[in-house]
Amino acid sequence: MGSTPSTPRTAGVWALMALLLFQGISAVGPGLALVASPSGDILHMPVSKMRHSPFPDYLIPGLILLVVLGILPLVVLFGMWRQRSWAWYGSFTVGCGLIIWIAVEMVFVPFSVLQAVYGVTGVLIALATWLPSVRRYCRVRVPADA
Residue 112 lies in a domain: yes
Residue 32 lies in a domain: no
Note the pLDDT of residue 88: 95
Residue 144 banded pLDDT, cuts 50, 70, 90? low
Domain that holds residue 83: 19-27+62-137
The total number of structural domains that make up the chain? 1
Residue 131 lies in a domain: yes
User: What burial letters (b/e) apply to 42-75, b meaning 16+ CB within 10 Å?
Assistant: beebeeeebeebeeeebebbbebbbebbbebbbe
Residue 6 lies in a domain: no
pLDDT tens digits for 2-19? Answer: 455 577 899 999 999 999
Determine the 3-state secondary structure of 60 from DSSP.
helix
Q: Is the pLDDT of residue 22 over 80?
A: yes
User: Does residue 75 contact residue 91 with C-beta atoms inside 8 Å?
Assistant: no
pLDDT tens digits for 33-71? Answer: 999 999 999 999 999 888 888 899 999 999 999 999 999
Note the pLDDT of residue 3: 53
Residue 37 lies in a domain: no
Of the candidate ranges 25-39, 71-85, 126-140, the one whose mean pLDDT is the lowest: 126-140
Stretch 132-145: mean pLDDT: 78
Residue 115 lies in a domain: yes
Residue 75 banded pLDDT, cuts 50, 70, 90? very high
Residue 144 lies in a domain: no
Name the nearest CA neighbour of 21 among 121, 123, 127.
Answer: 121
Note the pLDDT of residue 49: 85
Share of the chain above pLDDT 90, in %: 75
Residue 128 lies in a domain: yes
